Structures are given as C-alpha cells and as structure tokens.
Amino acid sequence: MKNIGTIELEGMEFKAYHGCLEQEKVRGNSFTVDFRGELDLSAAADSDNLNHTVNYADIYEIISYEMSIPSELLENVAGRIVKEIEKKFPQLVSFSVRVSKKKPPVDGVAQWSRVTLYH
C-alpha cells in the first residue's frame, strides 16, 4: 500500500539580487522560499532510512544555489529551482516552489511579492 505524504521546507531565507530595477541589482533584498512536495513515503516510513525519501538538505542546496544567481524575474528563479528539483528527484509525484520578495519596489505598501510554480 502506498503512503503518499508531504515533505516541506518553509521559510528558507536568502539575501539575493533579483529584480528589474538597478537598485535591486546593487542593494539586493530579502527573499524567502517555500518548498512542498508529495511522494510515496511507504519505504521511508517502514525502514527509517534516508535513502528512501527526499533529503531536505539536498533540496536546500539546490534552492540556495539557484537563489545565488541574479535574475530579473521571480518566475525565472522559481523556474530554475523547479527544473533542478525535477531532475534530481523524479520520485516526487508533485511539488511546488514559492519565491517571495520582501517589500517589493512598488508605489505603495506591499509586504511581499510572490511567485509559486507547481510541478
């Protein structure tokens, strides 16, 4: 019997240089990334073996690396993260990646701008 379950990494924080404006490219901004994935956790639930699941540290490493590469669009950052996770973890049934920029440069009050991609 399959035990489809969810693994999550929420609130990963990064200083990064994503954005279209010159000030964003120079000063940077605070970003958070959230990951949520679904997969069959039957083997891990029975074995207590890390090899039977997705290692959170590997997910974090992918996200951290992609966040270090400046992009103009959050869509591009999230898309690169999705592609790399998809390549490394084909056992994921589905997953999502949400990239959030703190206090985006808009003419008014906005706490976050966010992009979420689903696979």
Q: Sketch the domain layout of the chain as residue ranges.
A: 4-118
User: How far is 63 from 60, CA to CA, in rounded Å?
Assistant: 5
Phi-psi map region of 22: left, alpha, beta (phi>0 left; psi -120 to 50 alpha): alpha
Residue found by looking up tokens 């990951």 in the block: 35
Domain over 4-118 is classified CATH 3.40.980.10: no
Tens digit of each residue's pLDDT (9 = 90 or more) over 89-115? 999 999 999 999 999 989 999 999 999
Q: How confident is the model at residue 49 (pLDDT cuts 50, 70, 90)?
A: very high
pTM, two decimals, is: 0.94
Q: How confident is the model at residue 1 (pLDDT cuts 50, 70, 90)?
A: low
Of 2, 83, 101, 103, the active-site residue reads 101
pLDDT over 70 percentage in the chain:
99
Q: How confident is the model at residue 2 (pLDDT cuts 50, 70, 90)?
A: confident
Distances (CA, A) of 28 to 13, 56, 95, 112: 13, 26, 28, 14
Active site residue 88: no
Residue 69 DSSP class: S
